[in-house]
Structure 1
Amino acid sequence: MQLVVGRIGRPHGVRGEVTIEVRTDDPDLRFAPGTALATDPPGRGPLVVERARWNAGILLLAVAGVHDRDAAESLRGTLLVVDSADIPALDDPDEFHDHELVGLSVITAGGEGVGEVAEVLHHGQDLLVVRRPGGDEVYVPFVKALVPEIDLEKGLLVVDAPPGLLDLGETE
């Protein structure tokens, strides 16, 4: 399974650097210099990271063979992917990779169906994007107090949400 670890955004400057929309919980490892990243669409890669740096909270990459703004612009929107088999297992049983959570069925502590984990966002606070059966989404902070149980074998994630958290997006 291919996992998206980033998406190339707009060029930065005139020397071929690109901004990266980070979609991994370990950007320093995934975008380390010398790392070759497969792409989607596949015809653009692999792309080899020459240099990575943070600027005002935005990850900037210099990629081998991309040395001007036009070449950087041609990569805009390209997804950077890794094979899930290449991601080592975690030692801590309370830690999970994003791809392990996406697709889990979400229920309340009382057993009521909520939806399915569609995505994990990393914005200082990790958030689970839960897609409800009607197509709308709710965001659940990924903390032990609100997500007390995860059973990967059963494909289940239990949410113990305070009143109103799961009602967001519902109309009366």
Structure 2
Amino acid sequence: MEQFLQVGVITSPHGVRGEVKVFPTTDDVTRFKKLKEVILEEKRGQRTLAIEQVKFFKNMVILKLKGVDSMNDAELLRNVPLLVSRENAVKLKPGEYFICDLIGLQVSDEEGKFLGTLTEVIQTGANDVYVVKMENEKEVLIPNIKECIIKVSLEENSMTVHLLEGLL
């Protein structure tokens, strides 16, 4: 299980006072208002910076990070992922999972026949679609709907599914 979760990626400086534009990779962009700090995943390692100010502009988040005080400082952070610890992550409702926790699950049908490994989650808007790579290297797409997903167990690293007619 991942210790840190990505909430965004710094895209560019914003202005001359060290603010940065962030492309959010979280479902709830308003969560940035509640964050006190973020972890920067830089090439030389991770560092934690406090958030001084949060603004929203179109589909972007504008952050002022403590210690980033000029456009030059902000330029050095271009394309740096922003992470949060699990403790600072959004609280999930029962039956909700972080995508990074689903990747790698062993998927079987309701009769116990192993289908493959969940390798990707496609977010379509209506419902997510799970990409399962089978042993023969083919992929099966399984919609995340209650008729298909019977059980998810992160502890057992497994998912049990019902395959609707035509999925295979």
Instruction: Compute the TM-score of the two structures, normalised by the length of structure 2.
Output: 0.67
Unaligned 5+ segments in structure 1 are: 167-172
Displacement of 1:135 in angstroms is: 7.2
SS in structure 1 opposite 2:101?
helix
Displacement of 1:8 in angstroms is: 2.5
Structural mapping, 1:72-91, within 5 Å: 72-85=74-87, 87=89, 90=92
Aligned match of 1:3: 4
Structural mapping, 1:25-36, within 5 Å: 25-29=27-31, 31-32=32-33, 35-36=36-37
Percent identical: 25
Aligned match of 2:54: 52
1:57-102: per-residue Cα shift (whole Å, max 9, x none)?
A: 2233222232443322211222222333555864x43222344323
Aligned match of 1:169: none
Structural mapping, 1:132-171, within 5 Å: 132=133, 140-160=142-162, 162=164
Aligned match of 2:15: 14
Unaligned 5+ segments in structure 2 are: none
Q: Going by fraction, where is strand more abundant, 1 or 2?
A: 2
Could you tell me which amino acid in structure 1 is paired with residue 3 of structure 2?
A: Q
Could you tell me which amino acid in structure 2 is paired with residue 28 of structure 1?
A: T
Displacement of 1:33 in angstroms is: 5.9
Q: Give the CA RMSD over aligned residues.
A: 3.6
Could you tell me which amino acid in structure 2 is paired with residue 105 of structure 1?
A: Q
State how far apart, in whole Å, the 1-side matches of 2:53 and 2:69 are. Answer: 12
C-alpha change, 1:69 and 1:104, in structure 2 (3 Å) is same
- Whether contact under 8 Å (1:10, 1:73) holds in the other structure is no
- Whether contact under 8 Å (1:115, 1:131) holds in the other structure is yes
- Whether contact under 8 Å (1:38, 1:80) holds in the other structure is yes
- Whether contact under 8 Å (1:4, 1:23) holds in the other structure is no
SS in structure 1 opposite 2:73?
helix
